Structure formats: structure tokens, C-alpha cells
């Protein structure tokens, strides 16, 4: 089912997205390969100053743009002092004029400590929260290394729905031994919460994580591929029926409640990334900040920014990334428009025709989309269809 959104033309006139990375967590989850760090103490004032300095550097290189979204990711951004969040939001809008519908998202864990900050975060300007419930089963939460239980998660969700205009929830499924009946019951319950957006991710074993070590040692058996595929199809059926279709392969929303920030990524727009480990895409350049918090601060003091890498993107790289990102979306891509943008074809026409005959792609003169059946083998499609 396609999204109700119309594809946006992406160019320098399109609103900019700002990503702000907060690298700190209370503990490291065994499935997580994000840039997150556990520290005994955090100097909030020092980090406020650092983020504002990194933001000012990036803003000076992106003059004349408008700001369409801000996303505080992590790590655990709900551990940020609300005054730091407010300062970054105020500074961002000082650097760039904001669109009238500026979307400001903050990722949050559903602990009672963090939920106590929700009112202050809303007052700071956050208007959308992404709440990492991850499961509605206490045994599963313990397996996933989460610090909260279901009761605490539901209390935090209630608090979030009272304070923020838009709420998204994250759930992880396809856990070892999980059955279709178990996932159906959990997803039915989650859909009943009334949130306009759900991010539903299958558990994957990422290199360098605790789960990867356990798997290598034979102490961890992932759900088999056929069962995981069945849960993926069940998820699509249930979210479609609940008027929260998949607009991206793992993201489901009431039409109009899609994450505008993430759509900037998937539609291959420009975004500024600040904070430790943050990536950005700025006027044909890939930018990467130092990952380790201490290295980021040292680079900032030395150079006035936390950058570790700033490299031009070739037309080949850009075209490939735009293809890979765009075909994750239900709306698909406009191959002709992207070919004009990057000066090279993105699509192997013969492969696209063959995959369309197999009903894995939906092809028209203006659009190329992956079908629901094709989403099950998206990696294979991308490998075959890229020019």
C-alpha cells in the first residue's frame, strides 16, 4: 500500500533536516550497534556548549536554507537536560528560518525518570517523541537488556501522549522462539494505543554486539528466516488493516504522520549532523563526526568542530545511495528525475523489467516501487536492479 505523500523534489531549496546525536546511555543493550557510551557522570553544561559550537560550524556552511526538522537521536536523548534541548532548538532556528510545520523529534526510553522530563521537553519545543518500548512482554524486555518493564513503559507512553502532539513507538519482533500468535497479540495491543506512527524492527544480529558474541559462541539462536518472513507479512497485513500502512520497510503511519525527518534521508535530501558519531550529507559531501565523546570534544577544542571525515560523494555513490534509500519507501523513486540529478542511470532496465514480470517491482514511466512481495527480498532486488 503506497503512502499518501507525494514525492518531494530534493534540491537546495528543500528544507534542511538537522540531526543531533546524544551519545550517552545508562547501559548498553545487547542488540545495539549505535554509537552509545556509558559514563559515570555527564557535564551537561559542557555538552550544551559543545553541541552549540558544532551546530554553529555546520550552519555557517549551509547558508540560505530553511529548517524542516530536528531529530535528537542517540544514545538516549531523553537523558539530556531539557535546557540543553531548548538551547539547541533555539540556536537552530536562529541559524535557519524554520518552516511553519517544523518537526522536532526526540528519542526516549520509557523509564519513569525520563518520563518525568517530558513536560519540560515539550516546553523546550519538542513536538514529537519516539518512544523505545521495544516489547510489551517482561521476559522479552529482560532478554533485550532493557531497564524498564511493561508497566513502566505503559505509564511513560501515557505521559508522552499527554505532553506531545505526535508519538511514535518502537517494537522489536522476530525474537528467538517468537510465534505468530504471540506477535499478533502484541501488535494488536500496540495498535490499540492510538499512536500515529510505529517503527517495527525485526531483531538482527549486528557485528560487535553482545548478541553477536553469544551467537558466535552457540548460545543464541535467531528465529529462522521463514518464520521471520511470516511475521513480516503478518505485520504488513495488520498495520494495513489498522490504517497504519508501511510507508518505509520498517515504519508504519497514519497518512500524514510519517516522520518528515527520516523522509529527508530516504528521499536523499541534505541533512546536517552534529554531535559524536553524527553523519551528514551537505551539498554533495559526506560528513562524519568523531564517535568517542572524548575525541569529539578534543577535536572541537582543537578545530572548532567535531568532524573526522568530510568527503565528496561521487555521482556513482550518490546515485546508488539514492536508489537504495528510495526503494525502501512505499512511494518508490522517479528514476528519470534521479538520472537527471546525478547525470547517470540508476536502473538496469532489463533487470527491472524481469523483476516487474515476477511482481517484485511495480514499474511505470514515472515511478519504480518495490511490491509487498518484493519487500521480503529487498536486498536481492537492490543488488540486481542497480545500474
**Could you give the domains of the chain?**
16-266 (3.20.20.70), 315-385 (1.10.10.920)
DSSP code, position 89: H
CA distances from 345 to 13, 332, 337, 367 (A): 24, 16, 10, 14
d(CA 253, CA 168): 9
In this prediction, residue 10 carries a pLDDT of 41
User: What pLDDT sits at residue 262?
Assistant: 97
User: What is residue 200's predicted lDDT score, i.e. its pLDDT?
Assistant: 98
Q: Which residues contact 383 (CB under 8 A, 6 or more apart)?
A: none
Residues 6+ away with beta carbon under 8 Å from 102:
67, 68, 69, 70, 93, 127
Q: What are the backbone dihedrals phi and psi of residue 98, each rounded to the nearest 5 degrees, phi first?
A: -85, 145
- Predicted pLDDT of residue 5: 45
Q: How many CB atoms lie within 10 A of CB 209?
A: 18
Give CA–CA dist 326/336, Å, rounded: 13
d(Cα 22, Cα 17) in Å, to the nearest integer? 16
Query: In tens digits, what is the pLDDT along the chain, a chain of 387 residues?
Result: 334 443 333 455 689 999 999 999 888 888 888 888 888 889 999 999 999 999 999 999 999 999 999 999 999 999 999 999 999 999 999 999 999 999 999 999 998 778 899 999 999 999 999 999 999 999 999 999 999 999 999 999 999 999 999 999 999 999 999 999 999 999 999 999 999 999 999 999 999 899 889 888 988 899 999 999 999 999 999 999 999 999 999 999 999 999 999 999 999 999 999 999 999 999 999 999 999 999 999 999 999 999 999 999 999 999 999 999 999 999 999 999 999 999 998 899 999 999 999 999 999 989 999 999 999 999 999 999 997
Cell 518520563 belongs to residue: 115
pLDDT at 12: 55
Alpha helices for the chain (secondary structure H): 44-60, 82-95, 112-115, 118-124, 138-143, 150-163, 180-191, 210-216, 225-241, 260-266, 293-303, 315-326, 335-342, 349-357, 372-375, 378-385
Amino acid at each position: 500500500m503506497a503512502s499518501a505523500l507525494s514525492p518531494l523534489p530534493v534540491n537546495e531549496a528543500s528544507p534542511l533536516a538537522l540531526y543531533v546525536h546524544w551519545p550517552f546511555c545508562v547501559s548498553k543493550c545487547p542488540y545495539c550497534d549505535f554509537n552509545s557510551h556509558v559514563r559515570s557522570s555527564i557535564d551537561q553544561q559542557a555538552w550544551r556548549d559543545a553541541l552549540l559550537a558544532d551546530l554553529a560550524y555546520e550552519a555557517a556552511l549551509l547558508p540560505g536554507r530553511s529548517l524542516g526538522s530536528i531529530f535528537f537521536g542517540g544514545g538516549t536523548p531523553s537523558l539530556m537536560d531539557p535546557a540543553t534541548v531548548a538551547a539547541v532548538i533555539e540556536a537552530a532556528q536562529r541559524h535557519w528560518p524554520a518552516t511553519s510545520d517544523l518537526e522536532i523529534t526526540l528519542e526516549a526510553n520509557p523509564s519513569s525518570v525520563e518520563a518525568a522530563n517530558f513536560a519540560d521537553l515539550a516546553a523546550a519545543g519538542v513536538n514529537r517523541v519516539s518512544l523505545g518500548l521495544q516489547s510489551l512482554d517482561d521476559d522479552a524486555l529482560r532478554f533485550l537488556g532493557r531497564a524498564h518493564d511493561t508497566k513502566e513503559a505503559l505509564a511513560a507512553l501515557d505521559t508522552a501522549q499527554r505532553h506531545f502532539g505526535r508519538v511514535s513507538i518502537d517494537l522489536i519482533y522476530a525474537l528467538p522462539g517468537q510465534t505468530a500468535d504471540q506477535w499478533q497479540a502484541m501488535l494488536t495491543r500496540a495498535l490499540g494505543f492510538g499512536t500515529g506512527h510505529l517503527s517495527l524492527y525485526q531483531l538482527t544480529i549486528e557485528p560487535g554486539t553482545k548478541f553477536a558474541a553469544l551467537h558466535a559462541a552457540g548460545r543464541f539462536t535467531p528465529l529462522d528466516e521463514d518464520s521471520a518472513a511470516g511475521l513480516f507479512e503478518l505485520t504488513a497485513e495488520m498495520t494495513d488493516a489498522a490504517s497504519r500502512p508501511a510507508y518505509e520497510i520498517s515504519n508504519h503511519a497514519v497518512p500524514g504522520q510519517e516522520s518528515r525527518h527520516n523522509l529527508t534521508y530516504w528521499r536523499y535530501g541534505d541533512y546536517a549532523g552534529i554531535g559524536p558519531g553524527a553523519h551528514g550529507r551537505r551539498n554533495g559531501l559526506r560528513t562524519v563526526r568523531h564517535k568517542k565523546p572524548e575525541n569529539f570534544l578534543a577535536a572541537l577544542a582543537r578545530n572548532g568542530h567535531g568532524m573526522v571525515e568530510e568527503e565528496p560523494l561521487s555521482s556513482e555513490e550518490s546515485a546508488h545511495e539514492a536508489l537504495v534509500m528510495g526503494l525502501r519507501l512505499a512511494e518508490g523513486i522517479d528514476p528519470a528525475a534521479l538520472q537527471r540529478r546525478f547525470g547517470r542511470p540508476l536502473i538496469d532496465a532489463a533487470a527491472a523489467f524481469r523483476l516487474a514480470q515476477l511482481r517484485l517491482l511495480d514499474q511505470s514511466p514515472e515511478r519504480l516501487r518495490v511490491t509487498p512481495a518484493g519487500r521480503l527480498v529487498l536486498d536481492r532486488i537492490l543488488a540486481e536492479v542497480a545500474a
